Structures are given as structure tokens and as C-alpha cells.
Chain A
């Protein structure tokens, strides 16, 4: 339940206030939840409405950031345990 709420917050706050808030929220989500794959979807949705530039890397910067973040989280999950609240 909390995970779903955080998913909604991670969509709403960047759209209402500022797009870059997605980055700290994604980091917070990774800290709080166990491997939150949802952020890839959020990153993709946000990339769909924002314009960062023409090239592939600029068309999907938040999706790429989310994928890298999840990959790092997957890698570290096997080595380090960090506190999970949701």
C-alpha cells in the first residue's frame, strides 16, 4: 500500500513542481523499498512529456537514469542490506 502511494507521489511531485525532483525521489524510493522497478515506468512516463533534446540519450534521460539506478540497486542488494520501511 505504502509502496503504491510512494509510486503516485513520485509521479505527481515532479509533474507539479519540477521535473528534477524525480531524481531525489527515485533515490529515496530505492532506499525505502526493495528494488522498486516502478521508477522505470515513472521515468518513461515523464520522458514522454518532457523535451530534453533530439538524440536518443536526451529523449529518454529519466528512463535511462532509472534503469541504471535499478541495476546498481540489484547489484548492491546482494552485497549490502539497507533499511527498508515500505
Chain B
């Protein structure tokens, strides 16, 4: 690479800078004004929708490439294992349906509030396509979604909250999003705990005598109690008198295509 040093007179340089600023500054001001405008965000998301879907399809396909190279024996073993899992799942589903019905009846008898209304939505994009610990969802204000609505996987697993919403799209920040705070309780002891997202995981700092162990479930109260995190490691720091708890989401986000958004604002 060749660099040539160019000597310019100071006045010309100042004039050029001034001319450039005269072009750039109005553009920047316009961009900032438009940045606060909700329709602009909505329109841009709509334009990019096919691109996001293409990227999502690309990552789903590339993740499955390794599966095509498995040996025949491995495939037969996996097939037998999956058949067993299907049988077990059918039995679990029958149990679940009966428990769900019982739960509904008990709620009616005890006059407890019903489980919140949810809207199902597709995940359009996820990391690494978009920033870490966020999900782009295919529903927005038009479907009744509002800021801070809970984002659920299944009926009982809370993974995050809606942080940006436009007419037809919304963005959810997972509980693991850096700086995101979640207030919940330990399912085993009912002790309250504050967990903080650290990007890719969560952490909590509790007094050293706090009763918590690996595998404990952290629940969050919504229209019902949701599972929000699972304790993965407990590190005692005797010098400071605190325990550092490391937690993870209960589900693997890379395998989820549909989430539910609880419509009541929390």
C-alpha cells in the first residue's frame, strides 16, 4: 500500500470541512428526528423482514448440516431413542392435560385470577443475526403487544420482556440481556432474589447464609408463577460474606421458533 503525503493550505482545508459539515449536519439532525419516530422503525423492520427470514433460514440450515453426516448405526440408535421419547411424551401429555384441567377447576373454585391471555408469535431472528440476548418477533402493537409484556416459551417458562414494539414487529430482551434485572423467588425456599443479566447468562449476589444450591429453580410472579432461571453454579466468597450465583435460562433459545407474549402489562 502506498501513502502519499499531501500538503494543503490551511484555509482550503477549513473551507472544505465547513462545506462538508453543511451537508452532514442537516442529514444527522434529520436522522435523529426520524429516529424517535415510531413509524420509521416500523417501516424499516417491514423492509428488512425478508432479509431477516433469509438469515434465519440460513442459520437453521447450517445448524443441521452436521446431522446429515451421521453414521447409519448412530441414526438407528437415535431413532430408537426418539421412539421411546415420543411414547413417554404422549404419556406425559395425558398427565399434563389432566393436571391442567384440575388446575383450571381449582382456580375457578378458589376464585383466583385466570392465567393471562397470551399471543403466539414467530421468532424472525435471533443471535448471532441480531445482538446477543434479544429476539425479533413477528407481532407488534396490532396484535396487542405492549412494552414490558412477558415473553414465554410454552406456558410456564419466562425468557424475557418486550423492549421495543412497532406496529407489526417487536423486540424482546431475554433475562440474560446485559443489565436486565429480574425479581423472583427460589421455588424450593420461597426466598426472594434479584437476578441480573450479564450477557449469555445471569448472576445474583446473596448473603453467604442464603439457602440456594445448584439446580434450584427461580420463579417470577406474573398471572401465574413462571420459571425464569435455573441455578448453574454457586461460588462462596467468604472474605466478602456473599455468594455469587450463576444462572442460565431454562430453555435453549436457538431451538425455539414460537414464543408467547403475555398481553397484560407488568
What is A's interface to B at a CB cutoff of 8 Å?
A: 12, 15-19, 35, 37, 40-41, 44-45, 47-54, 59-60, 63, 67, 70, 74, 78-83
Q: Cβ of B55 and Cβ of A83 under 8 Å apart? A: no
Question: Once bound together, how far apart are the Cα atoms of A56 and B3, in whole Å?
Answer: 37
* 24 A-B residue pairings within 8 Å (CB atoms): A15-B55, A16-B51, A16-B52, A16-B55, A17-B55, A17-B58, A18-B128, A19-B130, A37-B23, A37-B24, A44-B35, A47-B35, A48-B40, A49-B130, A49-B136, A50-B171, A51-B163, A59-B35, A63-B35, A67-B24, A79-B8, A80-B3, A80-B4, A81-B6
Interface size for B (C-beta < 8 A) is 42
Q: Cβ of B130 and Cβ of A44 under 8 Å apart? A: no
Q: Cβ of B52 and Cβ of A48 under 8 Å apart? A: no
Q: Cβ of A48 and Cβ of B13 under 8 Å apart? A: no
Closest 5 CB pairs of A and B: A16-B55, A15-B51, A48-B44, A51-B171, A18-B128
Q: Cβ of B16 and Cβ of A78 under 8 Å apart? A: yes
Given A48-B44, A51-B173, verify A16-B24 contact (CB < 8 Å).
no
Question: Once bound together, how far apart are the Cα atoms of A83 and B4, in whole Å?
Answer: 10
Please encode chain B, from 4 to 47, with 1 for each CB lying within 8 Å of some chain A CB and 0 for all others: 11101000010011001001100110011011000011001100
For the complex with contacts A44-B31, A49-B45, A74-B17, 15 further pairs of A-B residues with Cβ separation under 8 Å are A12-B51, A17-B58, A19-B131, A41-B27, A45-B44, A48-B41, A49-B44, A49-B48, A50-B130, A50-B131, A51-B131, A51-B173, A63-B35, A67-B24, A81-B4
Q: Which of A19, A40, A59, A81 touches B31 (beta carbons < 8 Å)?
A: A40
